[in-house]
Structure 1
Amino acid sequence: MKFQVMELLFGKNTPKQMIPKVTLLAVFAILVFTVTPLSYPLFRYSSSYLNKNNNNNHHHPSSAFDDLNQFSQSLPSTSVKKCDIFTGEWVPNPKAPYYTNKTCWAIHEHQNCMKYGRPDSEFMKWRWKPNGCDLPIFNPFQFLELVRDKSMAFVGDSVGRNQMQSMICLLSRAEWPIDVSLIRDDYFMRWKYPSYNFTIASFWTPHLVRSHEAAKGPSQTGLHNLYLDEPDEKWITQMQDFDYIILSGGHWFTKSMVFYENQKLVGCHYCLLENVPDLTMYYGYRKALRTAFRALNNLKDFKGITYLRTFAPSHFENGLWNQGGNCVRTKPFRSNETQLEGFNLEFYMIQLEEFKIAEREARKKGRKLRLLDTTQATLLRPDGHPSRYGHWPSENVTLYNDCVHWCLPGPIDTWSDFLLEMLKMEGVRSAQEKLHFRAN
């Protein structure tokens, strides 16, 4: 895999004297007609950001990140050539990380690996290099300009919350958010970036559909009742006014569940109940994902964009999560050193199949459904999990080695790289889809 050193933000600038004036005009015209549909003020700072005073919720970026503060001098990376940004390799990035556990308060304790003694730090010093193109490092100033006056919801389980906390840390180089949560509940949080009028929110819904823990018995500890044809009202009833929805989930479907459809018990997954057929966790996940997509497609007057952030593989080795399994690797895999398999593969394939069905329905209604396909990049990062570094060794807690969530800083910071690139290309993609729709 060729490793090409690139500028942090927008690639190497070609000296103007090497380009004929006619070519310059042609390039400028192409950029105007591809970037303009984005309809965002890409190259200005918020005046309130420039003039705000330093208080507990805001701070000026440190000089260590000055190179990220130069985007107004360059055009953004919005190449119109075809490139699959989700297929590639991890390459060294000595400039990373772009925040630390000491500079970001948003890191969940169980993902604060450096605080709790992880001895190595190389897992933070990699970046994703797609085959055939470059993926710019996340630029917090550019991102906040793109989402000015908008809102974003992270819908899913604790890995989804992990993703949101990663974004808060990355954005902290530009501005700290203020807590605007509607209720005092760590499972349903809202944060606002005042200078940009941008709000992000977290909605805890590990099964996506309505569920509750069943009465515990001798053999049913942790058993959940899932109503597979009913979306969880705690999140779906609040999606109407969001501009972006990041939907994810899956890991909770490996647990014991009882399935209901049309208010009737239809089966279960590892429930150990007499005369109840085992329909497997895959049946439950497919049905739940289909219900979530259908509910989003049926939202009245919803004008936002829904992203399915694909399954984040776990990396337990030498045993299952509750049988001594661990993740102690300190370097990424190369793409030819591992492959998606087992339940990780099954969950991912279910997502792709259900996404395709939902996307077809979304297009009929003029809705936008996008695939934030982080699975391959995440599969190659067995070194990025907390393992046992999510608490003090002497702490009296019952926690297994964590090979599901991700250390911060860490590999999932790249999920924001992916998302920003997709946002930058959204105007071009939307225009292409409109042309295709009219042609057909």
Structure 2
Amino acid sequence: MELPLFAVLQRTPRVAVTVSLVLFSLTIVPALYSLLANPIFHLSISSSETEGPLPSDHMLLNHMNSPSSDDPSSLVTTSTSRTQIRDDELRCDLFNGEWIPNDESPYYNNTTCWAIQEHQNCMKFGRPDTGFMRWRWKPDGCDLPIFDPQEFLEMVRGESMGFVGDSISRNQVQSLLCLLSRVEIPQDISSSPDKAFKVWNYTSYNFTLQAMWSPFLVKTTKADPTDPECYLFNLYLDEYDTKWTSQINQLDYLVISSGHWFSRPVIFYENENISGCQYCGLPNTTQLPSYYGYRKALRTSLRAILENFKGLAVLRSFSPHHFEGGPWDKGGDCVRTRPYRRNETIPEVADLKNHDIQLEEFRAAAEEGMKKMGLRLRLMDTTQAMLLRPDGHPGRYGHLQTTNVSLRNDCIHWCLPGPIDTWNDILLQMMKTEK
């Protein structure tokens, strides 16, 4: 007659001891090994904007009170904060994956968040579809947790974070402000009225957030500073933009990005002399491609970080545009309403050379940065994920729908709420890994 396992153990103590040792080997020992030998997280490396000021101070004052709890989109539903992340999350490549449906999103909207700029406020200007807000990024091999604002603010308590770059960088800052607004509305503590440099403080957490405008990353002047309509810039490719490089030694976190402005008319300076230009029309001046200037500007900015920063520095990769049917100034538009699947053929609409340059310069800087104690330089390679999101741009819904005015479509910036919120999902996960 067969007996239950516990009966066998009762009758034969030697068997009980043996089975217990086997169970101990199969469960406790591997767990202890995993705890003691946790691997170091490795990030895999794969290969004319519409400008406007940040939200004005009076907009902030009008929204100092938290959103009403009667609005479901304003409620904060957060899981218990995890100070440790799972072993599969440590090994996970966050940057290769696919977009999958997410019926729970969005986590804020254009009426509950004060920080959305007009030309990213797609629902305000009548976008008829809402499906672009209802996807989440699913990395291969793991799940990416949705941004938890309470967890983020607890993690950065008493610290400071800065974003440096162009209006796409500012786009991410506004997404972060919206995600955090479900917990707290910050105070504007900017030292000047300059909308290009904004500073907010979350008083309950003593957390400071900065947005620093530097679309070329290096020292830049207008070719004719007396002409407000002058769109020709002088780029000093080997000189720091001290407006941001002088501030980063006070930060704990730094997120830097750029790219789109390097298609504009510019004159390149090196060693205080003109080395060439692009689209400048100057006689006896070498015409150089935009990639020449971008590589050198990025290299200079990464050197500034290596020399002046001791926290966690993140280089966010190039954000592709999705103009179809023509370029941005000749009727190009972005009218798709769903993400691409990874096996779909994607039109060659985005110039990804800047992404290749970022990978190469990041590798070189990261190797150099390993020699500097305290600095952690990481890559947030979101290019693949965003290449699959032609549906996430404002397009024609970044402005009033007027039939008698010809306005360009915006297929560069990202709607809020929208796929750019995923950048902050990834940012928080990277921060948790570093912790």
Match for residue 384 of structure 2?
Answer: 376
Structure 2: state its 5+ residue gaps: 1-22, 42-62
Structure 1 residues 336 and 34, CA gap change in structure 2 (3 angstroms) = same
Match for residue 178 of structure 1?
Answer: 187
Mapped to 2, the partners of 1:199 and 1:395 lie a distance apart of 43
What is the Cα deviation at residue 303 of structure 1? 2.0
Q: 2:397 aligns with which of 377, 389, 394?
A: 389
Query: AA paired with 1:259?
Result: F
Mapped to 1, the partners of 2:315 and 2:414 lie a distance apart of 19
Q: 1:324 aligns with which of 327, 331, 335?
A: 331
Partners of 1:58 and 1:177 within 8 A in 2: no
What is the Cα deviation at residue 344 of structure 1? 2.6
Match for residue 45 of structure 2?
Answer: none
Mapped to 1, the partners of 2:424 and 2:33 lie a distance apart of 26
Structure 1 residues 63 and 101, CA gap change in structure 2 (3 angstroms) = closer
- 1:248-296 per-position Cα deviation (integer Å, ceiling 9, x unaligned): 0110001111100011000011212111111110000000000001111
Q: Which sits farther off after the overlay, 374-383 or 266-275?
A: 266-275
Structure 1: state its 5+ residue gaps: 1-19, 39-54, 428-440
Match for residue 166 of structure 1?
Answer: 175
Count, aligned residues: 387
SS of the residue 1:370 aligns to: strand
SS of the residue 1:415 aligns to: helix
Identity among equivalent pairs (%) = 53
Mapped to 2, the partners of 1:236 and 1:176 lie a distance apart of 27
Q: Which sits farther off after the overlay, 256-265 or 81-90?
A: 81-90
Structure 1 residues 201 and 33, CA gap change in structure 2 (3 angstroms) = farther
Q: Is 1:214 equivalent to 2:223 in the alignment?
A: yes
Query: AA paired with 1:316?
Result: F
- 1:359-406 per-position Cα deviation (integer Å, ceiling 9, x unaligned): 111111122100011111011000000011111123987742100100
Give the superposed CA RMSD.
2.8
Query: AA paired with 2:400?
Result: W
Mapped to 1, the partners of 2:167 and 2:406 lie a distance apart of 18
Q: Which sits farther off after the overlay, 368-377 or 397-406?
A: 397-406
Partners of 1:313 and 1:378 within 8 A in 2: yes
- 1:189-246 per-position Cα deviation (integer Å, ceiling 9, x unaligned): 011111111111000001001112213999x951111000011111111111100110
Partners of 1:329 and 1:382 within 8 A in 2: yes
Structure 1 residues 400 and 191, CA gap change in structure 2 (3 angstroms) = same
Query: AA paired with 1:160?
Result: S
SS of the residue 1:192 aligns to: strand
What is the Cα deviation at residue 23 of structure 1? 7.4
Mapped to 1, the partners of 2:256 and 2:93 lie a distance apart of 21
Match for residue 82 of structure 1?
Answer: 91
Partners of 1:270 and 1:280 within 8 A in 2: no
Mapped to 2, the partners of 1:142 and 1:31 lie a distance apart of 25
Mapped to 2, the partners of 1:94 and 1:200 lie a distance apart of 30
- 1:299-327 per-position Cα deviation (integer Å, ceiling 9, x unaligned): 1xx32111000000000001111011111
Match for residue 267 of structure 1?
Answer: 276
State how 1:245-324 maps to structure 2 within 5 Å.
245-299=254-308, 302-324=309-331
Q: Is 1:235 equivalent to 2:248 in the alignment?
A: no
Q: Is 1:91 equivalent to 2:100 in the alignment?
A: yes
Q: Is 1:336 equivalent to 2:322 in the alignment?
A: no
State how 1:10-25 maps to structure 2 within 5 Å.
none
- 1:396-433 per-position Cα deviation (integer Å, ceiling 9, x unaligned): 87742100100000000000111111111113xxxxxx
Q: Is 1:411 equivalent to 2:419 in the alignment?
A: yes
Partners of 1:216 and 1:223 within 8 A in 2: no
SS of the residue 1:69 aligns to: coil
Q: Is 1:142 equivalent to 2:151 in the alignment?
A: yes
Q: Is 1:421 equivalent to 2:429 in the alignment?
A: yes
Mapped to 2, the partners of 1:178 and 1:22 lie a distance apart of 55
Mapped to 2, the partners of 1:234 and 1:399 lie a distance apart of 33
Per the normalisation by structure 1, the TM-score is 0.81
Structure 1 residues 149 and 333, CA gap change in structure 2 (3 angstroms) = same
Mapped to 2, the partners of 1:344 and 1:76 lie a distance apart of 38
Query: AA paired with 1:356?
Result: R
